[in-house]
């Protein structure tokens, strides 16, 4: 059996390992943009191979799959989905784990996703406005002093999102200035390379609460949910610093996190299922692959959608993939045959922690973070109970160098998140840059103080949304305007 994996990040490294664990012993091939040594190794050991290429080019991917005559293709990242790689692969008669372009729109266009939620009245929706021109967005921002999330209307590699709480009237002027300048930056920088979408900017009401990611498999009929994972977006410890693609994540033990109830878990699953149903109805296409809700427990709704993913999260995927007990190839085959309902998706009863290691410069100046030779003592890491996933790295003339984003991740599992975090910490020193440039990571991820803080935030938010639910105003925004009377937004 042969499988072609598309993508080169830590997520794909974890997918490759999960596939390699299958009793069907598939030969794994990979198409990568940068050469990830972890994926390369899995491919070689499985009797497969890899090739450098463009994972977002449907023709290249489909040609490679045909050439190898693989049994199916597994697409890791979102961009190939947005570029129609899954559509092309299937057009050639090869099975593909990965959403078609039309349904991946729930991730690609944040405006589309919100419209869908309102049209189908799916719980956990937020008020939003999308703009096609910077002038309209700025005019809106100047008129209303509101707490806002300003986002590129398209998924732009997780970049360009700014969330500004505008609660103090006395600081509103500074905030309005930053909102305006940021909106301009979104259009000029983050959206400049994308021509596949008409909306440019999305303004969303700002909500607060603990975030979590719910990842699921979907075959178009059945949605099977995985354990919740929480990512940590701040670059530095104590939840300080700029937003990153995620500096590490925690999971377990069991289906939910220590600060999310099982009822909230069930509601979250229901929301993701309804999203899948809605996008299928809207497009007439089946959703086959991985779908995830990047969610937040808010005082407005309880479980609330912040964004949708049409794939595993990164690093969130790396928390759950090593814990999957069910045969990964069987899961993939069931998705392709629309028999996912027959699969009993099982996970080992462990908590897991992923800690990302990034070169200094990330996330703001990737040019500074790029090009540093890096090495890891993977045996020492294994001896201390951890595991390394390679991420943004490249092999150039036999030397492994950093790619500018998070270079690698340490994965550890234990009976509790706190213990797993400690194991990961013991492994961190075994990753080094060889040219004296510095690496950084967050030691607080999964630490008791950090968990306690999230638990307190969740309790606070839960009190409020439960009050709203008792009052029958869950998810509603009711206001009274002098002269106009009571209105609902």
Query: Interface residues with another protein (CB under 8 A)?
Result: 162-165, 167-168, 170-171, 173-174, 177-178, 181-182, 185, 233-243, 360-362, 364-365, 368, 438, 440, 449
- 392, 395, 400, 405 alpha-carbon torsion, rounded to 10°: -20
Identify which of residues 127 and 234 has a Cβ nearer to another protein in the complex.
Answer: 234
> Terminal CA-to-CA distance of the chain, rounded, Å?
55
Least distance in angstroms from the C-beta of 168 to another protein: 5
- What's the rounded Cα separation, in Å, for the pair 51 and 65? 11
**SS3 label, residue 34:** coil
Cis peptide before 377 (omega within 30 of 0): no
Identify which of residues 102 and 428 has a Cβ nearer to another protein in the complex.
Answer: 428
Identify which of residues 140 and 440 has a Cβ nearer to another protein in the complex.
Answer: 440
Tell me which residue of 11, 50, 91 sits closest to 316, measured CA to CA.
11
319-323-327 Cα angle (round to 5): 130
Least distance in angstroms from the C-beta of 167 to another protein: 6
Least distance in angstroms from the C-beta of 174 to another protein: 5
The 10 Å Cβ neighbour count of residue 327 is: 17
- CB contact set of 215 (below 8 Å; sequence gap of 6+): 225, 226, 229, 290, 291, 292, 309, 312, 313, 316, 317, 320
Identify which of residues 15 and 183 has a Cβ nearer to another protein in the complex.
Answer: 183
Identify which of residues 40 and 148 has a Cβ nearer to another protein in the complex.
Answer: 148
Identify which of residues 127 and 366 has a Cβ nearer to another protein in the complex.
Answer: 366
- What's the rounded Cα separation, in Å, for the pair 321 and 10? 11
Least distance in angstroms from the C-beta of 451 to another protein: 14
Least distance in angstroms from the C-beta of 163 to another protein: 5
Identify which of residues 27 and 182 has a Cβ nearer to another protein in the complex.
Answer: 182
332-112-62 Cα angle (round to 5): 40
Least distance in angstroms from the C-beta of 360 to another protein: 5
Tell me which residue of 341, 227, 321, 388 sits closest to 21, measured CA to CA.
321
Least distance in angstroms from the C-beta of 242 to another protein: 4
């Amino acid at each position: 059996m042969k499988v072609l994996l598309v993508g080169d990040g830590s997520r794909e490294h974890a997918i490759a390992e999960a596939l390699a664990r299958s009793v069907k012993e598939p030969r794994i091939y990979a198409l990568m943009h940068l050469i990830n040594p972890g994926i390369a190794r899995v491919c070689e050991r499985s009797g497969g191979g890899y090739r450098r290429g463009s994972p977002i080019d449907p023709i290249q991917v489909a040609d490679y799959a045909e050439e190898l005559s693989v049994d199916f293709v597994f697409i890791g990242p979102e961009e190939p989905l947005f570029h129609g790689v899954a559509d092309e692969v299937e057009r050639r008669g090869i099975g593909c784990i990965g959403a078609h372009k039309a349904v991946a729109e729930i991730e690609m266009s944040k405006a589309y996703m919100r419209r869908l939620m309102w049209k189908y009245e799916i719980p956990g929706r937020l008020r939003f406005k999308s703009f096609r021109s910077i002038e309209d967005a700025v005019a809106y921002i100047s008129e209303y002093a509101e707490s806002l999330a300003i986002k590129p209307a398209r998924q732009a590699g997780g970049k360009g999102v700014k969330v500004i709480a505008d609660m103090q009237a006395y600081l509103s002027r500074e905030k309005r200035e930053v909102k305006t300048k940021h909106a301009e930056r979104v259009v000029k920088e983050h959206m400049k390379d994308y021509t596949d979408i008409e909306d440019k900017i999305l303004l969303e009401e700002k909500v607060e609460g603990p975030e979590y990611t719910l990842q699921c498999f979907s075959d178009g009929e059945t949605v099977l949910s995985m354990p919740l994972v929480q990512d940590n977006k701040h670059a530095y410890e104590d939840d300080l610093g700029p937003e990153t693609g995620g500096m590490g994540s925690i999971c377990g033990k069991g289906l939910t996190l220590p600060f999310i109830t099982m009822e909230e878990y069930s509601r979250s699953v229901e929301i993701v299922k309804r999203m899948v149903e809605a996008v299928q109805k809207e497009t007439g296409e089946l959703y086959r692959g991985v779908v995830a809700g990047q969610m937040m427990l808010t005082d407005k709704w309880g479980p609330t959608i912040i964004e949708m993913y049409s794939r595993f999260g990164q690093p969130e995927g790396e928390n759950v993939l090593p814990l999957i007990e069910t045969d990964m190839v069987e899961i993939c085959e069931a998705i392709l045959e629309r028999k996912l309902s027959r699969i009993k998706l099982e996970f080992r009863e462990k908590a897991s922690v992923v800690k990302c290691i990034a070169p200094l410069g990330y996330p703001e100046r990737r040019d500074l973070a790029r090009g540093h030779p890096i090495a890891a003592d993977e045996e020492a890491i294994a001896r201390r109970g951890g595991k390394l996933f390679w991420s943004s790295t490249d092999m150039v003339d036999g030397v492994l160098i950093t790619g500018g984003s998070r270079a690698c991740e340490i994965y550890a599992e234990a009976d509790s998140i706190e213990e797993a975090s400690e194991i990961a910490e013991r492994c961190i020193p075994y990753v080094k840059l060889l040219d004296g440039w510095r690496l950084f990571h967050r030691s607080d991820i999964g630490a008791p103080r950090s968990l306690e803080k999230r638990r307190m935030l969740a309790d606070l938010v839960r009190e409020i949304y439960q009050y709203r639910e008792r009052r029958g105003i869950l998810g509603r925004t009711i206001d009274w305007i002098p002269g106009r009377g009571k209105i609902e937004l």
